[in-house]
Structure 1
């Protein structure tokens, strides 16, 4: 399938080189992020550059950041209405509008990025996502992955479930619902307010992404306990496209858009891995007092129980949610059996120098 698509695009490129400037199609894209936001904003820039190159200049993607359209969490509506042709955001931001969108970003205790991409492109993921977005005049495509996110920055050590009771934490979405089951008070603040809120103890903890973006936010200077992740093992951003706009494009440009989105999404995943590795080394050098912790077995047990309980409720309330959850769980079981005897077996037995772990 990929080879056929690339052959089509290469053929289109030969034709595209002869295209007159008058035939250029401009698509307006609204992104949730501010101008020049690292990694996330790089994904849209890479996408625009790829679309232009692969189309021989026939496709021009105009990117408007949040400072232009002033609706960072309104991208869904902007594209649905046709005010914008495309968007770049995250599917779980639309949970209040369409609850079933939350499953296509990441799920607590769910798939890691490699598993999730396999589910999207070679199992049920894309078809189920289209079923959710089609009634809203939208196509949704994977838009870049952060990889495993960290569990958050905490002002104090969390030893028992009692330490979570009443704790004020910036943690949105389904993970926030799960934490609330353990007594946490979820808080959602704009990114620009998070550092000061943590410094001033307006919140006791927050989760953002990981070293790739946490370093620039200054969080290592605001809290010393850095907990490993469980809630966002593969946070996938998304490209949204107005269906009428996409369906009105020539077939070759539709294919070029699909390939450009897929390549830029992959590049973002790799960039996220690189930046996290680089920034983690910098964090340790600049803040040697960072204390990496894992939540206790008892806390993890309660988080898993809350996750299962809430998923069961959502499946019972909505047949489509039930199908999505069942598909993800079935694929995770199959994929993880392979991960256990491949990546996990390898990394679990080797240190960074290739020596056997003790």
Structure 2
């Protein structure tokens, strides 16, 4: 190789020599083996935004790895078990899952804290907690005992409080109310006399249409428009329960450890990028779809829960958090971490975002 350099002009000879030396000096790639992972997602085939996040992630991982990391995705239509992804990934049936952590509170009550919490952090605040405030470390601590890893999987931003057939004017209106609402918010409403339940995505419209439930919360205009809930339940309440709904990428620990270090890092970067991309996509779609909803469905009535209902929800939230902290050391550690971080970061959010929005409220 070096003897051929003598035949080149001086400038090209120097460039070629530098290139040869850099190749020889570069560390060898871990290997050229192709690693294949299978992922189960909790959403139907071609489900927008939620389904875009894992596909964007898989595409980035394959491109950044030069084709050495390939991820295939099975939708809920195929695996038929959207509310069993935790078990399928833990058991090794799938290497990965794309779902939401608060679905697994029946498996481990400490998983629900990593999706979002009522009256908690907004999406930017929660991302800051995850990546700079110790949230990631706490999440891995919870999932390690299940031989899995969990990473943020895409944020919807603040979710709406739900679609209701009847207007909520007082606490009495919550008594016996059958509502699809998962996570900690469901526990809060149960404290106030409602009957929360969790229903798979594909069954939501039918359940509302057939009066199996009286109300439901899903996401916001970004995804609610296509679901058609407004055709049945015209009262659209503003949010309190999910101010920063974060989906998750679940990974089987053995599958993770089989990956070379460089592919682990590529996967980590692809997941982080796809998650933030989903947040911006959700924001864009909500603005776009809300404009459509206002124009095409003028009967939709946006409502805020009455003060007495909000106050009762806050009181129930405080009570349940206290009970969980007293009953479980891990829950106590997470709750205290979130509360401490929220107190610090919210002071800045109030000075920055809130004051800005308040100052231009009349425009």
Normalised by the length of structure 1, the TM-score is 0.91
Residue of structure 2 aligned with 1:269, choices 275, 279, 282: 279
CA distance in 1, matches of 2:83, 2:211: 26
Residue of structure 1 aligned with 2:349, choices 339, 352, 357: 339
Indicate if the aligned counterparts of 1:92 and 1:103 stay in contact, CA closer than 8 A.
Answer: yes
Rg larger for: 2
Indicate if the aligned counterparts of 2:103 and 2:182 stay in contact, CA closer than 8 A.
Answer: no
**Counterpart residue number, 1:188:** 198
**Counterpart residue number, 1:229:** 239
Q: Deviations over 1:215-266 (max 9, x none)?
A: 0100111111110000011110011111122122111111100000000001
1:202 matches 2:221: no
**Counterpart residue number, 1:306:** 316
Give the deviation of 1:51 after TM superposition: 0.2
Using the TM superposition, name which of 308-317 and 194-203 deviates more: 194-203
Using the TM superposition, name which of 144-153 and 65-74 deviates more: 65-74
Give the deviation of 1:86 after TM superposition: 1.1
Using the TM superposition, name which of 321-330 and 158-167 deviates more: 158-167
Residue of structure 2 aligned with 1:294, choices 286, 299, 304: 304
Using the TM superposition, name which of 157-166 and 299-308 deviates more: 157-166
Give the deviation of 1:77 after TM superposition: 1.4
1:52 matches 2:62: yes
**Counterpart residue number, 2:18:** none
**Counterpart residue number, 1:123:** 133
**Counterpart residue number, 2:15:** none
1:106 matches 2:134: no
Inter-CA distance 248–19: structure 2 relative to 1 (3 Å threshold): closer
**Counterpart residue number, 2:329:** 319
Residue of structure 1 aligned with 2:38, choices 17, 21, 28: 28
The DSSP-based 3-state class of the residue aligned with 1:27 is strand
CA distance in 1, matches of 2:29, 2:226: 41
The DSSP-based 3-state class of the residue aligned with 1:148 is coil
1:285 matches 2:295: yes
Identify unmatched segments of 5+ residues in structure 2: 1-22
CA distance in 2, matches of 1:311, 1:157: 28
CA distance in 2, matches of 1:199, 1:250: 50
CA distance in 2, matches of 1:257, 1:15: 20
Aligned length: 339
Indicate if the aligned counterparts of 1:16 and 1:57 stay in contact, CA closer than 8 A.
Answer: no
Inter-CA distance 73–202: structure 2 relative to 1 (3 Å threshold): closer
Inter-CA distance 187–297: structure 2 relative to 1 (3 Å threshold): same
Indicate if the aligned counterparts of 2:83 and 2:200 stay in contact, CA closer than 8 A.
Answer: no
Inter-CA distance 200–34: structure 2 relative to 1 (3 Å threshold): closer
Give the deviation of 1:17 after TM superposition: 10
Indicate if the aligned counterparts of 1:92 and 1:104 stay in contact, CA closer than 8 A.
Answer: yes
Q: Deviations over 1:173-198 (max 9, x none)?
A: 21111011111111333333322332
CA distance in 2, matches of 1:42, 1:317: 38
Indicate if the aligned counterparts of 1:181 and 1:306 stay in contact, CA closer than 8 A.
Answer: yes
The DSSP-based 3-state class of the residue aligned with 2:271 is helix
CA distance in 1, matches of 2:198, 2:139: 26
| Counterparts of residues 81-96 of structure 1 (less than 5 Å) | 81-96=91-106
Indicate if the aligned counterparts of 1:16 and 1:55 stay in contact, CA closer than 8 A.
Answer: no
**Counterpart residue number, 1:220:** 230
CA distance in 1, matches of 2:148, 2:210: 41
CA distance in 1, matches of 2:28, 2:299: 56
**Counterpart residue number, 1:143:** 153
**Counterpart residue number, 1:167:** 177
Inter-CA distance 44–299: structure 2 relative to 1 (3 Å threshold): same
CA distance in 1, matches of 2:330, 2:306: 34
Using the TM superposition, name which of 86-95 and 161-170 deviates more: 161-170
Q: Deviations over 1:284-319 (max 9, x none)?
A: 111111111101111110000000000100000000
